[in-house]
Each structure stands twice: as C-alpha cells, then as structure tokens.
C-alpha cells in the first residue's frame, strides 16, 4: 500500500488501488517475473460484470446442486438447511440457481 501512496500521493486510494494493482500484475506477466501467478492475474482482472449460471458447485467440501438438476434423479442434493436466529430453529429450502462471476486467466 505504501508504494501506491508514493506513486499517487494526492489520490483517493479506493479509486486508484485497483488500477495500480492491475498495472503491476500485467507488468509481472509481460516481464515473465517468477512472482507472477495466474491467481494474481485473475485477482487483478476483478470480477466479470456478467455472472454465469451453473447447475452444481463444491464450496468448502460441500456439493451444492440446483433443484432442476435433481428432479429426475434417484439421489438428490438440492435441499438446503440453515440455522435460524433462535436456538433450535431451522430453515429449509431448495436451491434454485447458482450464479458465478468469473475472470479470464492467462496461462
């Protein structure tokens, strides 16, 4: 963060940092710097403005599946259970849609 402040002393950091970071990571890529990684590049790109819809995903080792994918299957995994605010209270539902924002990664 100190490097950004030195380069843009009179700027609003919340507006300048993303552009500065993207510029630095692109330079690492062009210079074939060993500290460059595809994950850093994806982070520098930021999220895609258009999310895509998927029918399943795994988050923290838990598989989530949308209800429309489970309708004609013998085993189903589209149910969702979430603890409520009160002790012992649970909310149940079906997962209707999974939206993911992606970024193009150069390899």
- As a whole number of angstroms, the distance between CA 6 and CA 15 comes to 15
For the ranges 3-12, 50-59, 95-104, the maximum mean pLDDT occurs at 50-59
Q: What is the per-residue pLDDT for 107?
A: 42
**Element at 68 (helix H, strand E):** helix 67-70
Q: Tell me the pTM.
A: 0.45
Q: What is the per-residue pLDDT for 83?
A: 80
In the chain, domain spans? 2-45, 54-100
Tell me: the pLDDT tens digits for 65-103?
888 887 877 777 667 777 878 888 887 888 888 888 765
């Amino acid at each position: 963060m100190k490097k950004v402040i030195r380069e843009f002393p009179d700027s609003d950091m919340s507006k300048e940092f993303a552009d500065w970071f993207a510029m630095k990571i692109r330079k690492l890529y062009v210079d074939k710097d060993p500290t460059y990684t595809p994950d850093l590049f994806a982070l520098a790109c930021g999220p895609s403005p258009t999310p895509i819809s998927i029918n399943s995903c795994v988050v923290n080792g838990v598989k989530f599946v949308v209800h429309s994918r489970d309708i004609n299957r013998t085993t189903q995994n589209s149910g969702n259970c979430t603890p409520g605010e009160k002790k012992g209270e649970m909310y149940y539902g079906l997962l209707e849609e999974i939206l993911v924002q992606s970024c193009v990664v150069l390899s």
